[in-house]
Amino acid sequence: METARGSAPPPPARIAVVDDDRVTREYVAGLLRGHGYRVIAVDGAQKLLDLHRQGQVDLVLLDVMMEGLSGVDCCRILKSTTPPEIFVPVILVTGRTDPESRIEGLRIGADDYVTKPFDERELLARVEAMLRIKRSHDDLGAARERLQRLAVQDELTGLYNVRYLNSRLTEEYKRAERHRDPLALAMIDVDHFKQVNDRFGHEAGDAVLREVGVRLKKSVREIDVVTRYGGEEFVVLLPSTHLAGALVVADRVARTLREEPFDVAGTKMPVTASIGLALFPSRGVHSKEELLRSADRALYRAKDEGRDRICV
């Protein structure tokens, strides 16, 4: 991952050295510590699996012949129970030089092996090589996560975007129908927003939209889904919420905007919004599209009746 210039170097990799023989274990651990790695010396496979489950290990040096669970079985368990986005390389360390055991080790998922007695420089080089592959795997994973987040995030406000709303609404509507659970949807449109842009400029308008997003998030529950629907319109999905509950939330949203004037380019500016509420179940709502349309119609009425109000 790219790091800013002058930022701290990444912490040293954590290597688990698993061997039931104390002398070998301490020798390998000492060698790796001497090269700057953080080493956790472990005397059995079960302890390693526990450490790995807690996410404490970046790479494993795993003795094959051990009392109890063998290194090969341990590796098999570790690899088959680790989710694909997590890559913890396993280097088998074996005293057996016959190709069969090495082939089996690689086949069950080990990433590399070294045979005892090993050349210290070769062991270190293999550790470095594996960590290099791990780093590029982790970097790709981080990039994928960033992309996935960007794909559902509105750039200006950091709220979810309309793409996310569409997929969540599909899910929530199905869930509501199946479990006969209520679902409310609030469509929120800032009043006379064009005037903010006209008086203070587009950038000040953007700042207002960001602040609206912050206030919306503060006015709803953790499980409610706050999205920027487009322009100066927002949609909030309220799962498991009846009319009474939705009215409480809508009222809180309206008040949190109205009561504290916005700071726009050094000027205190009142901001209000009109809110259209739609509910499932209710008359005329038989699909998620009709739920959205119902909220849109209610919003239109709120505007028509004078703005800064809630219509259902």
Select from 194, 218, 221, 242 the one that contacts ligand GH3 (CB under 6 A). 194
Active site residue 171: no
User: Do the beta carbons of residue 134 and residue 201 sit within 8 Å?
Assistant: no
Give the integer Cα–Cα distance in Å for 220 and 241. Answer: 12
Quick one: which segment of 41-49, 131-139, 199-207, 244-252 binds ligand GH3 (CB under 6 A)?
Answer: 199-207
Give the integer Cα–Cα distance in Å for 271 and 251. Answer: 15
Q: Which does 135 bind (CB under 5 to 8 A by kind): ligand GH3, Mg ion, none?
A: none
Q: Is 189 in the site for Mg ion (CB under 5 A)?
A: yes
Q: Which does 152 bind (CB under 5 to 8 A by kind): Mg ion, ligand GH3, none?
A: none
Q: Is 209 in the site for ligand GH3 (CB under 6 A)?
A: yes
User: Which residues, in sequence order, are CB contacts of 3 under 8 Å at separation 6+?
Assistant: 10
Beta bridge partners of 61: 17, 91
Can you state the angle between helices 45-53 and 71-81, rounded to 10 degrees? 20
Select from 190, 235, 310, 312 the one that contacts ligand GH3 (CB under 6 A). 190
Q: Which does 65 bind (CB under 5 to 8 A by kind): Mg ion, ligand GH3, none?
A: Mg ion
Select from 175, 202, 255, 286 the one that contacts ligand GH3 (CB under 6 A). 202
Quick one: which segment of 113-121, 137-145, 229-237, 291-299 binds Mg ion (CB under 5 A)?
Answer: 229-237
Peptide linkage before 281 cis (omega within 30 of 0): yes
Quick one: which segment of 44-52, 163-171, 186-194, 259-267 binds ligand GH3 (CB under 6 A)?
Answer: 186-194
Q: Which does 22 bind (CB under 5 to 8 A by kind): Mg ion, ligand GH3, none?
A: none
Give the integer Cα–Cα distance in Å for 183 and 180. Answer: 9
User: Which residues, in sequence order, are CB contacts of 178 under 8 Å at separation 6+?
Assistant: none
User: Do the beta carbons of residue 204 and residue 196 sit within 8 Å?
Assistant: yes
Quick one: which segment of 7-15, 70-78, 98-106, 187-195 binds ligand GH3 (CB under 6 A)?
Answer: 187-195
Q: Residue count at the site for ligand GH3 (CB under 6 A)?
A: 16
The CA–CA distances, whole Å, from 232 to 40, 211, 227, 236 equal: 54, 12, 11, 13
Catalytic residues: 232
Q: Interface residues with ligand GH3 (CB under 6 A)?
A: 156, 189-194, 197, 202, 205-206, 209, 231-232, 303, 307
